[in-house]
Amino acid sequence: MHYDPRQPRPTALKHDPFKALVVPRPIGWIGTLDAQGRANLAPYSFFNAISDQPPMVMFSSSGAKHSLGNILATGEFTCSLAGEALRDAMNLSSAAVAREVDEFELAGLAKAPSRWIKPPRVAAAPAALECRLFKTLPLPAPPQGEGYTMVIGEVVGIYIDDALVQHGRVDTAAMRPLARLGYMEYAVVTRETMFSLNRPRVSADARRAEVDAGPWDGVYR
């Protein structure tokens, strides 16, 4: 099958498959405050890290969602990382409720204060990022419906549950982070699904490369 996504889908595809192809996607659980100090919490699956020096993340909002409006008003947001134990609360916080509704309370989630910004994080989340707005970028709008706005934030603070730090590294498997797939499907990162690969060693003349067998040798290349 090969088709132009700008044209009607083939009849064999009942739903748009795009989100089921670009997988898995981490979930950005975005916490914000509005200009009046009211909290908002919403999960976004168009989310990822885009730089580590400085650490920066992005998420995309379809239309003028409450999260986007709050970030434009205050310039700050948190991103809590959702583990498997928080999947139902994460899902409930996605409800399109009225602006004045606090999704932390709606989903039964305690707030934890941030250290460098005002919006809170999810207290039960295994890790969280404190972000300041770098810039927003409007994306092309479709012929029908609202377009997306990309929000890029610089990470100015990082919270990690101390229990996750083992031998100088974060135990990602212990986090059991959620990932978004297509349709209404999700996945969990577990120890059984994780593996490591050594990066290739490049020859002195840069014309050949080889990969050492076995577990990661602890060297970043």
Q: Does some domain include residue 103? A: yes
* Domain residue limits at 150: 24-210
64-116: pLDDT as tens digits: 899 999 999 999 999 999 999 999 999 999 999 999 999 999 999 999 999 99
For position 221, what pLDDT does the model report? 64
Q: Does some domain include residue 19? A: no
For position 203, what pLDDT does the model report? 92
Token digits of residue 47: 């989310």
| φ, ψ for residue 80, nearest 5 deg | -90, 140
For position 164, what pLDDT does the model report? 96
Q: Does some domain include residue 96? A: yes
Q: Does some domain include residue 215? A: no
Question: What is the count of structural domains for the chain?
Answer: 1
For position 50, what pLDDT does the model report? 97
Instruction: Read off the CATH number of the domain in which 83 is found.
Output: 2.30.110.10
Which stretches in the chain have pLDDT values below 50?
none
Q: Does some domain include residue 8? A: no
For position 197, what pLDDT does the model report? 86
Distance CA 39, CA 27 (A): 19
Token digits of residue 80: 């809590």
For position 199, what pLDDT does the model report? 86
For position 125, what pLDDT does the model report? 97
Q: Does some domain include residue 177? A: yes
- Residue 76 to residues 31, 172, 194, 215, Cα–Cα distance (Å): 9, 26, 33, 40
Long-range contacts, stretch 11-19, CB < 8 angstroms, 24+ apart = 15/183, 17/182, 18/182, 19/45, 19/180, 19/181, 19/182, 19/183
Q: Does some domain include residue 7? A: no
Q: Does some domain include residue 141? A: yes
